[in-house]
C-alpha cells in the first residue's frame, strides 16, 4: 500500500475516534488551556470565549488561581461512533504522545453548541481536570466522572445570575410536608430524570453548594473535595470529612441545605399582587388549551379549568399540565391572601392530574370555580366601593378637632406671666445671676 493510500485510509479512522487532527483548524483560548478544533471559525471563536467564561465562574467560586495542568481539547466536528444510537457527546481522559494526560470533549451533535447543555459540558471538563491534576490516568484505564451535584449546582448558580433563582422549584420541594433527604439527593441519577426532575435536582444542587459555602471552611472544603477523583454515587462521609467545622455531623449539613432552599424559596416574594391582579393572572393560567391531536381533534377545542381532566388524558397532556403547574407555583408565591388558598387548590388539582391522568377531579374543579366566581365578584364590589368613597369624599371642618389642636398649641406656647415672682426671676436671668 502506498504512503498516500495509507494516509487516505487512516484519516477517517482517526476521525471516527474523535481525535484532534493537525489538518483540522484549531484555536487556543486566552489561558491556553482550551484548544478547540473545528472547520467553522465562528464556532471555534464562540467556543473559546464561552469556555473561558465558565472557567472564570469556576475559579471565582473556589477562590483559587488558575494553575491548570491538563489541557482540555474541544472537538466540535467529531465523528460519532459506529453504534446504533450514538451519544450526542463524549468526555474522556487520554494519554497523549508526550505521556501527558488530556481531557477531551467530543461533540457529535452540533445542535449542542446552541444548547444550555454546552455550559454543563464545559464545566464538567473543568472539574474533571481539577480532579485529575495530581492523579495520572494510564491510557485505556477508566476514570471517575466529576461530581454531578457540583457540576449541575454550579451551572444553576451561574444561570441564576441572569435568570434569577428558581424560587418556585424550592417552594415546591418544601411544600410536600416532609423535607428532602440529603442522601436521596446524592444518590440521584441523571439518566433516570425527565426535564422536570432534572430542574428540581439542579435547584437542590445549587442549594447544596450554598449550604457548604455558608460554613467557615466551605470554600477550602470544596477545594479539598474536588482535588481528587471521587466515586459515584458520592459519599456524604467524604464530603463531611473535607469540612472539619461540621464536626462530622451530617445532620448539621442537611439542616443548612434545607435552610438554603427555604431562603431561596422566598427570593421573589417581596411584592404581593393585588386581589384583582391575582385574579387576572389566575384567569390567564387556567385558560389552558390542549395541543392538536389528529386522533382526537375534539380535545383541541377544549379550554379552561373544566377541560383539565380531558387534557391530562390527551397525548401531550402531561407536558401542558406540567407547565400549568409551574405557573401556579409562581403565582402562589405572590398571590393575594384572598386568593392564596384557591391558587393552592388548583395547584393540587394539576399536580394530581400530572401524576394520575385518570383521576376524577371534576367535583373539586366545580367547587374551586364557584369560589373563584365569588372572589371575583367580591373583588369587584370592593373596588367599586373604594372608587365611590374616593369620588364622594367631602372635605369638612370639625370645630371640636380645631379647638383641641388650638389647645395643644397654647400649651406649647404659653403667654408671659406678670406676677412679682415671675418678674423677679426674669430680672435674675437677665443679669446672668
Percent of all residues in the chain with a pLDDT value above 70, rounded to a whole number: 75
3-state DSSP assignment of residue 94: strand
DSSP-derived secondary structure for 204-256: HHHHHHHHHHTSTTHHHHHHHHHTS---SSPPHHHHHHT-GGGTT-HHHHHHH
> Would the pTM of this model clear 0.85, i.e. be above it?
no
Give the residue among 39, 26, 111 at the shortest CA–CA distance from 71. 26
Neighbours of 395 (CB within 10 A): 4
Q: CA 336 → CA 172, 348, 376, 385, 399, distances in Å?
A: 18, 18, 12, 19, 41
pLDDT of residue 45: 93
State the average pLDDT over residues 96-103.
Answer: 81
Residues 243-263 have pLDDT tens digits of: 999 988 888 898 888 878 777
Q: Is the pLDDT of residue 336 over 90?
A: no
Q: Which three cell numbers stand for residue 287?
A: 385558560
DSSP-derived secondary structure for 136-166: ---TT---PPPPHHHHHHHHHHHHHHHH---
The lowest-confidence range among 19-23, 66-70, 184-188, 350-354 is: 19-23
pLDDT of residue 74: 96
pLDDT of residue 2: 41
Q: Which three cell numbers stand for residue 259?
A: 435552610
The lowest-confidence range among 53-57, 156-160, 280-284, 406-410 is: 406-410
Higher pLDDT, 52 or 309: 52
Q: Is the pLDDT of residue 341 over 80?
A: yes
User: Predicted confidence band at 203 (pLDDT cuts at 50, 70, 90)?
Assistant: confident
Rg (alpha carbons) of the chain, rounded to whole number: 33
Q: How far apart are CA 124 and CA 151, in angstroms?
A: 6
Higher pLDDT, 297 or 103: 103
User: Predicted confidence band at 61 (pLDDT cuts at 50, 70, 90)?
Assistant: very high
Higher pLDDT, 257 or 313: 257
User: Predicted confidence band at 16 (pLDDT cuts at 50, 70, 90)?
Assistant: very low
Higher pLDDT, 357 or 185: 185
The lowest-confidence range among 9-13, 173-177, 296-300, 327-331 is: 9-13
3-state DSSP assignment of residue 372: helix
Phi, psi at residue 329, to the nearest 5°?
-60, -45
CB 132 within 8 A of CB 70: yes
Q: Is 116 exposed, middle or buried (0-12, 13-18, 19+ CB in 10 A)?
A: exposed
Chain-centroid distance of CA 273 in Å reads 23
pLDDT of residue 121: 96
Q: Is the pLDDT of residue 8 over 50?
A: no
CB 264 within 8 A of CB 285: no
CB 343 within 8 A of CB 331: yes
pLDDT of residue 413: 63
The lowest-confidence range among 5-14, 365-374, 408-417 is: 5-14
54: left (phi > 0), else alpha (psi -120 to 50), else beta? alpha
Q: Is 106 exposed, middle or buried (0-12, 13-18, 19+ CB in 10 A)?
A: buried
Give the chain's mean pLDDT: 81
**DSSP class of residue 361?**
-
pLDDT of residue 266: 53
Amino acid at each position: 500500500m502506498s504512503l498516500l493510500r495509507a494516509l487516505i485510509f487512516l484519516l477517517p479512522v482517526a476521525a471516527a475516534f474523535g481525535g484532534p487532527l493537525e489538518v483540522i483548524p484549531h484555536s487556543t483560548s486566552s489561558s491556553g488551556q482550551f484548544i478547540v478544533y473545528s472547520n467553522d471559525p465562528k464556532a471555534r471563536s464562540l467556543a473559546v470565549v464561552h469556555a473561558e467564561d465558565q472557567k472564570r465562574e469556576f475559579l471565582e467560586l473556589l477562590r483559587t488561581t488558575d494553575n491548570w495542568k491538563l489541557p482540555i481539547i474541544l472537538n466540535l466536528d467529531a465523528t460519532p461512533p459506529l453504534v446504533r444510537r450514538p451519544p450526542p457527546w463524549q468526555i474522556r481522559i487520554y494519554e497523549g504522545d508526550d505521556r501527558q494526560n488530556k481531557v477531551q470533549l467530543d461533540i457529535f451533535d452540533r445542535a449542542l453548541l446552541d444548547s444550555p447543555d454546552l455550559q454543563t459540558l464545559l464545566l464538567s471538563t473543568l472539574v474533571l481536570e481539577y480532579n485529575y491534576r495530581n492523579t495520572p490516568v494510564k491510557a485505556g484505564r477508566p476514570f471517575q466522572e466529576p461530581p454531578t451535584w457540583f457540576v449541575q449546582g454550579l451551572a444553576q448558580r451561574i444561570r441564576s445570575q441572569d435568570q434569577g433563582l428558581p424560587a418556585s422549584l424550592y417552594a415546591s420541594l418544601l411544600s410536600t410536608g416532609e423535607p428532602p433527604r440529603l442522601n436521596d439527593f446524592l444518590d440521584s441519577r441523571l439518566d433516570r430524570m425527565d426535564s422536570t426532575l432534572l430542574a428540581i435536582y439542579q435547584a437542590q444542587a445549587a442549594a447544596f453548594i450554598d449550604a457548604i459555602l455558608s460554613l467557615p471552611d466551605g470554600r477550602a472544603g470544596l477545594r479539598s473535595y474536588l482535588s481528587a477523583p471521587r466515586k459515584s454515587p458520592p459519599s456524604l462521609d467524604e464530603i463531611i470529612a473535607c469540612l472539619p467545622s461540621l464536626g462530622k455531623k451530617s445532620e448539621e449539613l442537611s439542616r443548612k441545605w434545607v435552610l438554603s432552599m427555604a431562603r431561596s424559596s422566598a427570593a421573589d416574594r417581596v411584592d404581593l399582587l393585588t386581589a384583582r391582579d391575582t385574579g387576572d393572572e389566575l384567569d390567564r393560567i387556567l385558560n389552558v388549551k390542549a395541543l392538536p391531536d389528529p386522533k382526537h381533534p375534539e380535545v383541541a377545542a377544549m379550554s379552561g379549568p373544566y377541560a383539565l381532566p380531558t387534557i391530562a388524558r390527551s397525548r401531550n397532556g402531561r407536558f401542558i399540565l406540567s407547565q400549568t403547574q409551574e405557573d401556579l407555583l409562581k403565582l402562589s408565591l405572590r398571590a393575594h391572601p384572598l386568593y392564596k388558598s384557591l391558587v393552592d387548590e388548583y395547584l393540587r388539582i394539576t399536580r394530581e392530574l400530572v401524576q394520575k391522568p385518570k383521576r376524577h377531579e371534576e367535583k373539586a374543579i366545580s367547587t374551586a370555580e364557584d369560589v373563584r366566581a365569588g372572589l371575583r365578584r367580591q373583588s369587584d364590589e370592593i373596588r367599586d366601593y373604594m372608587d365611590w368613597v374616593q369620588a364622594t369624599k367631602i372635605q369638612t371642618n370639625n370645630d371640636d378637632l380645631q379647638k383641641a389642636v388650638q389647645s395643644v398649641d397654647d400649651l406649647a406656647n404659653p403667654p408671659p406671666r406678670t406676677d412679682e415672682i415671675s418678674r423677679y426671676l426674669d430680672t435674675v436671668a437677665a443679669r446672668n445671676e
